[in-house]
Structure 1
Amino acid sequence: MVAVRRGDVVVANLDPTIGVEIKKTRPVIVVSNDSINQLSQLVVVVPLTKNIAHLSPSHALIPKGVARLTFASKAVTEQIKAVDKRRLVKRLGILPPALLTQVERALKNTLAFP
Structure 2
Amino acid sequence: MEVIPERGEIWWVALDPALGSEIRKTRPCVVMSVKVLNERRRTVIVVPLSSSPKASPPILIPISCDGRPAVAVSDQIRAVAKERLRSRLGVVTMDEMAALEDGLRQIMQLG
TM-score (norm 2): 0.92
* Structure 2 portions without partners, runs of 5+: none
The structural deviation recorded for 1:59 is 2.1
Q: Does residue 90 of structure 2 align to residue 93 of structure 1?
A: yes
Unaligned stretches of 5+ in structure 1? none
Match 2:79 to one of 68, 78, 82 = 82
What is the RMSD computed on CA atoms of the aligned residues? Answer: 1.4
Change (3 A) 1:53 1:96: closer
Return the offset for 1:2: 3.1
Q: Aligned to 2:100, what secondary structure does the other structure show?
A: helix
Report the TM-score, using the length of structure 1 for normalisation. 0.89
How many residues align structurally?
110
Alpha-carbon distance in 2 for matches of 1:40, 1:74: 27
1:56-85 Cα shifts (integer Å, max 9, x gaps): 32221013xx5xx25311000100000000
Which aligned runs of 4 or more in structure 1 are off by greater than 6 angstroms?
none
Q: Percent identity?
A: 34
Counterpart residue number, 1:42: 43
Match of 1:103 in 2: 100
More moved, 52-61 vs 98-107: 52-61
